[in-house]
Structure 1
Amino acid sequence: MEEIKSKLEEASGLPNCCGAIDGTHIIMTLPTVQTSDDCCDLEDNYSMLFLQGIVDHEMRFLDIVTGWPGGMTVSRFLMCSGFFKLCEGGQRLNENFRTLSGGVEIREYLVGGLAILCFPGS
């Protein structure tokens, strides 16, 4: 993890960053069986939140989650993931602080899109 954080800071200037996270939908053909609204995404397409991935400085996947209904928001999907539960238990993003010049402390974090706000939360 220290190598990942060092390389990400070298490439982007983001200190103590442990990776990048995002999710994507895959649109499905209208099913032949009765479905619930859980499978409709925000654009009323039948979809499955196909992939949530966390990558390192070399774009290698560190964590992947698939197979949840398209009606879930990306942030809700994250909170239901095993990665989130590991963070809550202190096994990932475990508050390993780094002190910057000026005495400012910054904890480990991931960067992501606007749909993933304040993770892990305060």
Structure 2
Amino acid sequence: MRKATFMELCDLLSPALRCKNTKMRAALKVEKRVAIALWKLAMPDSYRSVGNQFGVGKSTVGTAVMQVANAIKDLLISRVVTLGNVQVIVDDFAAMGFPNCGGAIDGTHIPILAPEHQAAEYINRKGYVSIVLQALVDHKGCFTNISVGWPGKVHDTCIFRNSGLFQKLQEGTFFPDQKITVGDVEMPIVLLGDSAYPLMPWLMKPYTGSLDSS
């Protein structure tokens, strides 16, 4: 990460991270708290190892990680994970070969430590413990919508149907009402998904039947 990017991140997060000194000790500076969190999120080190790196206790590392993560969620997610210019997205997907497409959707498993309760619910089909991140991306692979936190055992279709994205697509409020005609069918802006997703008027998936050359 470039220094300018780091400092910009600190400035954006500072309203949620700035703390006052107490009689017991001086508060960690915003820059140090962000650096601790970024290091822990980027590296597989233990809290104790990260604490030694920055001269703080392991409990301080844990607190810093949660504070910075919550600040990112509260202050930055809505600014960074956003739909942006729909027409640019549609035009670039068309240039890649698919018309009137507003994004591609899929889920990915994020490994976690097994929770104390209902650990079996977090074991995914590949056999490890995870939570699921559902992500919609644009033509460049940038996130435009996310839903995260479901146990790894839950199927992509269930997560999708219970997401805010699904509700907005059903209501027709996520994309502008922009249709093209394919044959004799009016086609709205659609998402592209794999075979795990349901076929909808606004979601295209691979044909699952047998195909011949015609």
| Fold shared by both chains (TM-score > 0.5) | yes
| Correspondence for 1:22 | 106
Aligned partners of 1:28 and 1:47 also within 8 Å: yes
1:84 pairs with 159, 166, 169, which one? 166
| Correspondence for 1:112 | 193
Instruction: Provide structure 1 residue ranges, at least 5 long, that are not aligned to the other structure.
Output: none
Higher relative contact order, chain-length normalized (CA < 8 Å, sep 6+): 1
User: Aligned pair in 2 of structure 1 residues 104, 88: CA closer, same or farther (>3 Å)?
Assistant: closer
Deviation of the 1:43 alpha carbon: 3.3
Amino acid across the alignment from 2:98 = L
Aligned partners of 2:90 and 2:102 also within 8 Å: yes
Higher helix share: 2
Q: Deviations over 1:88-110 (max 9, x none)?
A: 2221256632024x444322211
Which stretch shows the higher mean deviation, 80-89 or 90-99?
A: 90-99
CA distance in 2, matches of 1:9, 1:99: 14
Aligned residues: 117
CA distance in 1, matches of 2:100, 2:163: 22
Higher strand share: 1
Normalising to structure 1: TM-score of the pair? 0.81
- Identity among equivalent positions (%) equals 32
| Correspondence for 1:45 | 128
Aligned partners of 1:19 and 1:54 also within 8 Å: yes
Deviation of the 1:76 alpha carbon: 0.8
The structure number with the bigger radius of gyration is 2
Aligned partners of 2:123 and 2:152 also within 8 Å: yes
Deviation of the 1:38 alpha carbon: 2.2
Aligned partners of 1:87 and 1:94 also within 8 Å: no
Calculate the aligned-residue CA RMSD, in Å: 2.1
| Correspondence for 2:35 | none
CA distance in 1, matches of 2:191, 2:100: 9
Stretches (4+) displaced over 6 A: none
User: Aligned pair in 2 of structure 1 residues 76, 94: CA closer, same or farther (>3 Å)?
Assistant: farther
